[in-house]
Amino acid sequence: MLKEITKNPKALIWALILHALIILLIIGNFTFFKEDETKAIPVTQTESAENAEQAGATGDEPASSHTQNAESKPTPAQETETLDLPLPKPSVQFKTPEVIPLAPKIPSENAEQKRLKEIEEARAKAAKALEEQAAQAKLEAKQEQAKADAAEARQQAEARANAKTEAAEREAKAEAAKRAEAQAKARAEARAEERKQASLAEEQRQQARERELAREQAKQQAAEREAKQQRRDAENAAKAASERAAKIREAAMAEEAAKTASERAAAKEREQAREQAARETKAKADKEAKAEAEKAEAAARERSEALARKVAEEDKQRKAAEEEKKLSEERERWKAAEAKRKAAEEAEAKQLAEDRERWKAAEAKRKAAEEAEAKQLAEDRERWKAAEAKRKAEEAARNGNGGNSNNRADNGRNGAGNQGNGNSNRDLSGARAAWSRAIERKVKSNWHKPTERFGMAGTARLTLQAPGTIRRFTLSCNNASTPAFCDSLKAAIHGSDPFPKPEFDELYDDTLVITFE
């Protein structure tokens, strides 16, 4: 109860005032009784000592109850008189003091009873007022506790909603980053594999060209060796024919020399004839040798040209085959790359569609949660307003028209103090959080996100003015952000103008911070 009273200073002040009044009443009552007890009662001695002794021996009581009270409580005057008397002797008789009953004692007792009754009634009223103040303080404490619990529940709900939203955003960002990383890794692996395949194909083509060139060089060298051999054979044949002709000539000359010893005169003509024949034979042999050499050279040249034509034709065919093969390989690679690209585009489109569907589902879920939260906040606000109106009505009913002017003055001062204090910090904090979330939702709903934004982030700081327009606006992007990313953030900020209005105009002085990732 002490906690409930300390939470309500007004109830504490009233409790202290009531306790002080009760203490003052008790002190006044005690002082009044003390004065009645110390009053002197007049006495007279009218009876003898014998009657006093008889009364003391028999134990008879006086007829009046007032006399008994007076004897039970002697006054200081009586006590002094008793002490001053000498000791009585048995033979001496003296009169005992007779207590005269006070006639106005009965009215005094009635007044005392009336006063006691009034004191009891005042105490009962004070206790009742104290109980009412305690009940009021308890009710106000319960209302404050209910308001605090509702605010705490709203804050917890907001914290849970924010945590869920942030967790969903972090999960979506992590999934997007993971997908982007996987896509980048897959693209890098594909490019590496393509480069590897291209390098391997180029190496194979280079090796094939080198082998083909080696074969062509070997063929050409063989053709050259064959042509040289044919030329050497032709030269050898011509030389052999020349040698045979020389031998024939030598044989003919030897034969002619042997025969001309006896026939000199007639041999001159024959010599000339033989020389002519020899010349003709030599010319014929030379002609034949030359014809054979030319024929062999022509055959060698023809074979060389045929070989060269064959080599050129084969080279041409080889080059054509290589070009055709290269074109075919390029065509196959293009087809594979095109199919791979189409598959990647289809996969990416499918992934984007799935992401869009997940985003739509998450957005619908978030909007439903926000609507439920807004509905809950509205219901809490309505309940609080109803409780506040009920409390004020009960307070007005308790005060009523019969309330004292001090209470009305206190209420007026309290109302003025509450108006001077303005809105509470709790109300401002709740309104600030709700306003910030509403602005962030509107800005992000107007943000057309670029397709490439991995690692990019930006922070917008803006101050608004009534009725929701931009007064100051700054934007800072990290080093990984592109101009297109920053332009999209600017477009989202300016496209959200006018912004939602806050619950309190004091919030226009706040600087709002919105983070984009």
Phi, psi (deg, nearest 5) at residue 403: -65, 150
pLDDT tens, residue order, the chain (517 aa): 566 666 677 777 888 898 899 999 888 877 766 555 554 444 444 444 444 444 444 444 443 444 344 344 444 444 434 444 444 444 444 444 444 444 444 556 788 888 888 888 888 888 888 888 888 888 888 888 888 888 888 888 888 888 888 888 888 888 888 888 888 888 888 788 888 887 787 888 888 778 887 887 788 787 788 878 877 887 787 777 778 777 777 777 777 766 666 777 776 777 777 788 878 888 887 888 788 878 888 888 888 888 888 888 888 888 888 888 888 888 888 889 889 888 988 888 888 888 888 888 888 888 888 788 778 877 877 888 888 888 889 888 888 754 444 444 444 444 434 443 445 677 788 888 888 888 888 888 888 888 877 888 889 888 888 888 888 888 888 888 888 888 888 888 888 888 888 888 888 888 888 888 8
Q: pTM for the whole thing?
A: 0.24
Query: Do residues 256 and 204 touch, judged by C-beta distance below 8 A?
Result: no
Which residues are CB-neighbours of 448 under 8 A, at least 6 positions away? 488, 491, 492
| Statement: 435-517 belongs to CATH 3.10.310.10 | no
CB atoms under 10 Å from CB of 322, counted, come to: 14
Rounded to an integer, what distance in angstroms lies between the CA atom of residue 132 and that of residue 428? 33
Could you tell me where the DSSP H helices lie in 38-75? 49-58, 65-72
CB atoms under 10 Å from CB of 226, counted, come to: 14
Q: What is the pLDDT of residues 330-352, one digit of tens each?
A: 888 888 988 988 898 888 888 88
Q: Is 12 exposed, middle or buried (0-12, 13-18, 19+ CB in 10 A)?
A: middle
Query: Do residues 9 and 146 touch, judged by C-beta distance below 8 A?
Result: no
Long-range contacts of range 112-117, CB-CB < 8 Å, 24 or more positions apart? 112/36, 115/29, 115/32, 116/29
Q: Domain boundaries in the chain?
A: 2-140, 435-517
- Rounded to 5 degrees, what angle do the CA atoms 170, 172, 174 make? 65
Query: Do residues 233 and 296 touch, judged by C-beta distance below 8 A?
Result: yes
